[in-house]
């Protein structure tokens, strides 16, 4: 009898930032299809999602990917339900208000690879700092690149799993990396980012390396923080476009600053300082090709006749893409 290993992945109740959890289900004669993934319960009292006297929570599969790193295996992204089948309060995927794939998202997920013994990024000595920022962004060679084997393996696994990764690169700080994922629909984009995060955690662990998702792990220093820049568009922006429409969308984001910041990641104030390619958290701006603005209008959007995407540069690396996408959809709807 053939067997398959299904790795059920979910988000726990950790505060202020949820963490990934997973457990393996062995099933026989599995079709490989999402609709044949059953609901599964777990002990919510051990993940901050229930009390001990009523501990059962339910995992509902929402996306499935083959797991190229294991035999006869699949990665199953799930959302958490209460025992009665209603969305758990920690289930932010359920807050996405969309009926189709009209909204497209491209997330640029940044993070640091760190030595778990020193809690310092790869490329950093135990005491002090490496050479200043400059050579590390898209760098080449042993003096500028740290952890490349991990990144290459992660990219291969993501692509073989079917994640729509569009690229990866070394970022501005030593030991800092990024991968980009594009998807149609906020839910699907969120699913793929979370599975991508899961896979970099698992891959780095094989090398004895940890992943740091904090938006400013190096504190108040002259080193860049980590974001999850959100590129977005809907049908009107892609088909109709125009400077007036795009400006209207940008202005709408300025009318909902606090609503966005509230879901753009904990400790984001340490990153959004107005330095290191960010706008200050208490200000709002937008501009063409301006990486110091809250909203960057890509020069390609302008060159194409003001048709295409915008980039919200404020979401932090530890932000929940489900919440980010849900909030962006609401704000764009308020403008158009």
DSSP string covering 69-110: TSTTEEEEEEEEE-TTSSBPTT-GGGG---SSS-SEEEEEEE
Query: In this predicted model, which residue has the larger pLDDT, 276 or 178?
Result: 178
Query: Which of these, 314, 310, 184, 316, lies nearest to 249 by C-alpha position?
Result: 310
Give the pLDDT score at 128.
Answer: 87
Domain 104-335 has CATH 3.30.590.10: yes
Give the Cα separation of 242 and 236 in Å (integer). Answer: 10
Give the pLDDT score at 164.
Answer: 98
Q: What counts of helices (H) and strands (E) characterise the chain?
A: 7, 14
CB 150 within 8 A of CB 281: no
pLDDT confidence of 241, banded at 50, 70, 90?
A: very high
- Average pLDDT for residues 91-111, to the nearest whole number? 91
Give the pLDDT score at 279.
Answer: 93
pLDDT tens sequence across 41-87: 999 999 999 998 889 999 999 999 999 999 999 999 999 999 999 99
pTM: 0.96
Give the Cα separation of 65 and 191 in Å (integer). Answer: 10
Q: Which residues contact 24 (CB under 8 A, 6 or more apart)?
A: 5, 6, 7, 8
- Average pLDDT for residues 173-193, to the nearest whole number? 97
Give the pLDDT score at 1.
Answer: 56
- Average pLDDT for residues 266-285, to the nearest whole number? 93
CB 48 within 8 A of CB 14: yes
Give the pLDDT score at 99.
Answer: 66
- Which residue has tokens 């089948």? 85
- Average pLDDT for residues 207-223, to the nearest whole number? 95
Residue 36: Cβ within 10 Å count: 13
Question: How do the domains of the chain map onto residue ranges?
Answer: 3-95, 104-335
CB 108 within 8 A of CB 180: yes
How confident is the prediction for the chain on average, in pLDDT? 96
Residues of the chain with pLDDT > 70: what percent? 99
pLDDT at 33 over 80: yes
- Average pLDDT for residues 23-48, to the nearest whole number? 97
pLDDT tens sequence across 103-145: 999 999 999 999 999 999 999 998 889 999 999 999 999 999 9
Domain 3-95 has CATH 2.40.37.20: no
- The partner residues of 6 in beta bridges, in order of sequence, read 25, 74
CB 125 within 8 A of CB 132: no
What letter would DSSP give residue 292?
Answer: T
Give the pLDDT score at 169.
Answer: 98
């Amino acid at each position: 009898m053939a067997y398959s290993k299904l790795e059920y992945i979910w988000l726990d109740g950790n505060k202020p930032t949820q963490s990934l959890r997973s457990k393996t289900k062995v099933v026989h004669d599995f079709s490989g299809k999402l609709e044949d993934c059953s609901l599964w319960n777990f002990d919510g009292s051990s993940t901050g999602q229930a009390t001990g006297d009523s501990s059962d929570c339910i995992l509902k599969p929402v996306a499935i990917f083959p797991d190229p790193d294991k035999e006869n295996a699949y990665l199953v992204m799930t959302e958490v339900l209460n025992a009665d089948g209603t969305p758990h309060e920690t289930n932010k995927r359920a807050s996405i208000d969309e009926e189709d794939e009209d909204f497209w998202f491209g997330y640029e997920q940044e993070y640091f690879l760190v030595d778990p013994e020193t809690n310092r990024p790869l490329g950093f000595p135990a005491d002090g700092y490496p050479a200043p920022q400059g050579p590390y962004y898209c760098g080449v060679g042993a003096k500028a690149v740290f952890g490349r084997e991990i990144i290459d393996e992660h990219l291969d696994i993501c692509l073989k799993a079917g994640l729509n990764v569009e690229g990866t690169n070394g970022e501005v700080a030593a030991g800092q990396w990024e991968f980009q994922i594009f998807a149609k629909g906020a839910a699907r984009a969120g699913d793929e980012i979370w599975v991508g995060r899961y896979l970099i955690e698992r891959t780095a662990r094989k090398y004895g390396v940890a992943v740091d998702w904090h938006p400013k792990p190096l504190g108040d220093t002259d080193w860049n923080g980590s974001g999850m820049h959100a590129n977005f568009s809907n049908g009107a922006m892609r088909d109709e476009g125009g400077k007036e429409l795009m400006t209207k969308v940008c202005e709408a984001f300025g009318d909902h600053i606090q609503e966005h910041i509230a879901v753009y990641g904990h400790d984001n104030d340490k990153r959004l300082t107005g330095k290191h390619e960010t706008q200050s958290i208490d200000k709002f701006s937008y501009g063409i090709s301006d990486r110091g603005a809250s909203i960057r209008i890509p020069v390609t959007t302008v060159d194409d006749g003001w048709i295409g995407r915008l980039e919200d540069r404020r979401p932090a690396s530890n932000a929940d893409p489900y919440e980010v996408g849900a909030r962006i959809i609401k704000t764009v709807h308020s403008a158009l």
